[in-house]
Amino acid sequence: MSAVDLSRHPGHLARRLQQAHYLLWNTMVSEETTSPQFAVLNALIAEPGLDQRTVGERVGLDRSTIAEVISRLSRRGLLDKVRDPQDGRRSLLQLTEDGVRTHRRISLRAARMNQVFLGPLSAEEQAVFFDLLRRVSDAAEGLRHPEEPFGAGTSGL
């Protein structure tokens, strides 16, 4: 039996890519605020007052993960939960002033980190890279929703 060429395995490459991202994030952006936490802050900058389920959908986090991220951000004083005036059983999320400042600071650092992370690629290659990552990520969403066949709505994936 011969060894498998892992450079042809997307899961292996995705894991290596994630490791590089994690290292750069912790050294260049924040050891305190994780990338998923930043995604939540960013979603609430874009659309203030979303509920927890909707934020999770926007940033691609499952129900238990988004609950933990929201809980951590709330304990740090970066977001508040307020009762929905339309439905008292539902809470809406809002960034605090500290949450807005944290988002602003991390956004600048993340932009610099992305320049380093994508440095090996030309501008044209970066555009292709993002397009391909989005297509594969969008198709993989079907794994979370078994009622939709994997790859439904994608062209050629």
Domain boundaries of the chain, sorted by first residue: 11-117
| 8 — pLDDT class (breaks 50, 70, 90) | very high
**How far is it, in rounded angstroms, from Cα 132 to Cα 14?**
13
- Alpha-carbon distances, residue 26 vs 21, 36, 89 (angstroms): 8, 13, 37
> What percent of the chain shows pLDDT beyond 90?
80
pTM metric for this prediction = 0.85
CATH architecture for residues 11-117 = Orthogonal Bundle (1.10)
For residue range 75-108, what is the model confidence (pLDDT) as tens digits? 999 999 999 888 888 889 999 999 999 999 999 9
Residue 62's Cβ-count burial label (10 Å; 0-12, 13-18, 19+) is exposed
